[in-house]
Chain A
């Protein structure tokens, strides 16, 4: 989890630097344009300006496959991608419009005066849409999809144009810019891999995954490219005191925002994870109380029925029809899975859930035995069914006649099944599970197909089983459930004899911690980037003021 977190912050930092470096270049071209007001310079500073803002917006984009959906939807990602392509095109057009510097004449060799028109102008690079063959493009819409392919074309074209200027032309000083854009082009090319994350090749799938090594390659290439670009532009901006001052202030502000942003989000993730585990521990106790409540409910129903004089008289007269009429509505209304009435010998007089089965003896049942001794109690027991166990809450109460003589018992039972955990989920939003012995008896977690739940799976060997089932203690930690990494809290379930008969578990996907953090991280990033942009204004005036005073 922490790897994803640091990777996301690395993405933020690299793009922030990229934005700053691009804006620095824009400043440089703006400075040149402010003297001549030529179109080509205008396009260059405009292009780099757009590119700088595109990187700043890109810095706020979070990896949605891991960190969940962005609070800004897919807008920021699409907008950043579109802005980047527009920036590339604008820069490229500006470079194409700017003729190469004349080559000096050599003595003894006669050259015609160079004619700009005769030089083969570089063709503007048109973004090309490469139709994917078998693979599916990522879930970015509209221009975002196009830009995934167009961006590398744009950056590589710019690299080629700068190379031409540095080699065919005489602007050797532009070679670092060529290297910068070559590396940015490689980074953009690597970003195309995100469109192929659904490949059926497991090697490529892991390479292309979010925060996979292609992702790291993409970001490291960008970081290196931005390093070259930044170093190049820094060399020029420091030629003038005002611009030097401005860039120093801006860089400092950015560093402060970066450190604060990363530090804050780091604390945030840590706190969210700790709070999640605390919340889960509380929630599993709440689930335990819900089970206790069910015990109280079944006990109340059993005692209410046992106290009924009608029921007592029907039991004495062995009037089964009356017993059926007295109990038939209780099973659905109280959601009971069993309702049994026995006589004083433990012989079943009525089994309300299956009225045709009666006459057998339950004299060996511990609850019936205790009830006949006048001790009404509740317990939790495990009922084994094909595929999975069922955890059942059972309560028993004694029936007295008018002379307070024990004449039978009422036993009520309720299954802690899917309906129970679903209600818990509806009320609290928690994913909860119930284990009967060491096997899953009920859960709100669904399989990857989105509809079935694999009941009957084991709790797993190791710490959880040892802690919860063998040592009857609570456990919190990370587990793998239903093809998901989860944070989970367990607590044991005990029967009336204090023996562990199962466990309760509540869980949250580990990614949800990142997703909760992700929203805050992106908001923090957006705020930091916005403040950074806003800080340009006071930084500009402060820098200008200082530089004027010194001049």
Chain B
């Protein structure tokens, strides 16, 4: 008996010793460099210190020790880092695809302290083994001077981002430049849900749960500092995911004729991290009878593939190994499922791995209000109205793991942040934008990839108009009715415009604020404003050449009448003269004249030719930024195909698109001129507009003479070619 046990033990030892070594998933950490952003603080100051690392791809754990005993660490945070702290140190452990900037909150003491370095160490081991010092950067901070009194400024809210987006949860993060309270108001239509915390902190994070899948949530943030100064953001948005990630689960089926209800078990070796190409995953599975299959999923459990290599199928224990092929940049939720011969199955815990081979880029974009594409006005700004919901689609290449759009109001400098969601194809991210205050906004998109790399691109200038008001010269006129009429293009008769197909109401009965606006498509219209006791007011007849926000401040006049006791009697009073002057002010082509130099480029076209800055010289050029995923761009491509290519260079550039996709589309569309692949945004980064389609008119010398961001007809293009 003893010999048997001994032989079995020996066999086990040998098996373990001879078992092929699982390759180490994380890289070898050779060096580390970090910088801190604040080098001087006053006494008794609560400060957020940002530590920036040159490369975090191989770092699993970071420890930060205070520079002197005059500092008390009281907070730590970092995107996808699991942070903890004591008074002396802050510890960060990788929790997924992490950012390269982490934050430590610290309170300075009541005495000055000489300049001293923060002690920062990093390790490629979660436990902190073989940690190395992060040197080479500036980590010095000193305390000097008395505390600043009389704070009357509210905290500055910045760095708003959303993490942990699932079908039912989201975590809203933001920072303030001084310790402040945490408050979020959120909801679907009404912001009727809220979370409030009076704890003063500079790193704010609120986890929301019980959300509904696939819907747009609106929220605004408030933070109040110790002196009761409060700051509030505009309205921000995020969209919950539609497809849930399968949670670890066990399914017992018991095939007909089988009484086996015992599911298998599965282990899945931890690999998590950032990789340039797909890593190899390993693990084991076991079952009481026999294992039938081991499969994996890289999309959260939607689709499954058999593991590449499984040893032991058909027996009670098996080892598996797989390496997903051809993974593009991005985050992948990897799961393993083991199934036994009775069809009982088990799904492992999920692991998130990040593939990061390319830097992120923001490519072309389209902006819609409902079904209507929005284009810049004559001055280059896109016009919308307060509280109108806009749909934004952005092409983000380079394996973006999150894309946010930040709209900064020029007047106040306040940001509104809109989180986009991945559409799963064409590197397309979409989201909703809504502006709760009138003003001019500079809108930029920020893309982060799993390696912590960030790319930002200015998208557009959006001018948000206040809706038109209805007053009697002083007071708002509530319950006034505003009706839009359109001219039937066939019969020339005037009919009430059907707003419902454009997700709008017509007529509109205004509420307490007595405001209205319409986003009208192309056509001929007029507006009528009526209210009880007032003369009806009409606008002039006006033409709309592209979807345009329409509304005019209206002053209603009382109908003539008299009072009889408490009874007001008003005489009917017809209106003949239009008093609302509406001039949409958009030309039919929206062509903006400019003189600009084309950025140097050399790109491949779907027919194999190279198109470059030099190859277009000698003939005028029509260059359009297009994308197969954009409906309006496809419409533009079909127009470009009709242009006389012997007289004009016709170049259709697919920004952020690979050549094989464009080649296939050009063949399908029968587009003889071929599509040019600007895979890494060589051209789009040098041009002013990323809106698709945007058409540039370039003269024989390669100078951009004019441009237009909308679908142009053949005639409009020909008329603008600088022959």
Contact = CB atoms under 8 A, between A and B. Distances in A.
Interface string A195-209: 001011111111001
A364 B326 CA distance: 19
Interface in B434-476: none
Contact of B486 (A337, A387, A483): A483
Contacts, number: 189
Interface string A176-194: 0000000000000000000
A459 interface: yes
A439 B635 CA distance: 18
A485 B495 CA distance: 9
B500 interface: yes
B667 A460 contact: no
A484 B489 contact: yes
Contacts of B711: 451-452
A199 to B, nearest CB: 7
B297 A483 contact: no
Interface string A62-85: 000110000000000000000000
Interface in A450-501: 451-452, 454-461, 480, 483-485
Contacts of A426: none
A387 B373 contact: yes
Contacts of B490: 484-485, 509-512
B524 A448 contact: yes
A201 B575 CA distance: 11
Contacts of A401: none
Given A363-B305, A460-B501, A449 B494 contact: no
Interface string B99-117: 0000000000000000000
B588 A388 contact: no
Contacts of B372: 454, 456
Interface string A331-344: 11001110000000
Given A452-B522, A458-B500, A480-B498, A359 B368 contact: no
Interface string B512-553: 000000000111101010000000001111100100000000
B405 to A, nearest CB: 14
A136 interface: no
B314 interface: no
A105 B575 CA distance: 57
A386 interface: yes
Nearest to B304: A363
Nearest to B574: A203
Given A202-B494, A452-B522, A457-B502, A361 B297 contact: yes
A551 interface: no
Given A202-B540, A356-B661, A449-B545, A335 B668 contact: yes
B491 A205 contact: no
B21 interface: no
Contacts of B168: none
Contact of A202 (B485, B498, B545, B660): B485
Interface string B545-582: 10000000000000000000000000000011110000
B378 interface: no
A357 interface: yes
Given A209-B493, A332-B668, A203 B303 contact: no
Contact of B371 (A66, A205, A331, A454): A454
A551 to B, nearest CB: 56
A267 B140 CA distance: 95
Contacts of B495: 480, 485
Interface string B664-690: 110110100000000000000000000
Contacts of B304: 346, 361, 363-364
Contacts of B391: 386-387
Given A354-B658, A363-B304, A460-B498, A336 B668 contact: yes
Contact of B302 (A336, A358, A364): A364
Nearest to A335: B668
A86 to B, nearest CB: 30
B489 A483 contact: yes
B631 interface: yes
B371 A449 contact: no
A451 B716 CA distance: 11
Contacts of A440: 371
B488 interface: yes
B319 interface: no
Interface string A356-375: 11111111110000000000
Given A203-B538, A361-B303, A361-B305, A353 B491 contact: no
Contact of B370 (A200, A332, A456, A483): A456
A439 B371 contact: yes
A428 interface: no
A459 B522 CA distance: 18
B417 interface: no
B328 interface: yes
Contact of B326 (A353, A359, A439, A480): A359
B284 to A, nearest CB: 21
A460 B500 contact: yes
B368 A387 contact: yes
Contacts of A355: 660, 664
Contacts of A384: 423
B503 interface: yes
Contacts of A112: none
A51 interface: no
Nearest to B662: A354
Contacts of A358: 325-326
A418 B636 CA distance: 13
Interface in B615-656: 629-632, 634-635, 638
A385 interface: yes
19 contacts: A201-B541, A209-B494, A331-B668, A332-B667, A356-B658, A361-B297, A361-B304, A386-B393, A387-B373, A387-B391, A387-B632, A388-B631, A439-B371, A448-B523, A451-B713, A456-B368, A457-B370, A480-B498, A511-B490
Given A356-B661, A386-B428, A455-B631, 6 more contacts: A205-B494, A354-B664, A358-B326, A360-B298, A360-B299, A456-B372
Query: Which 10 residue pairs are nearest across A and B when measured between Cβ atoms?
Result: A456-B371, A359-B326, A361-B303, A386-B393, A359-B325, A332-B667, A202-B526, A511-B490, A354-B661, A353-B664
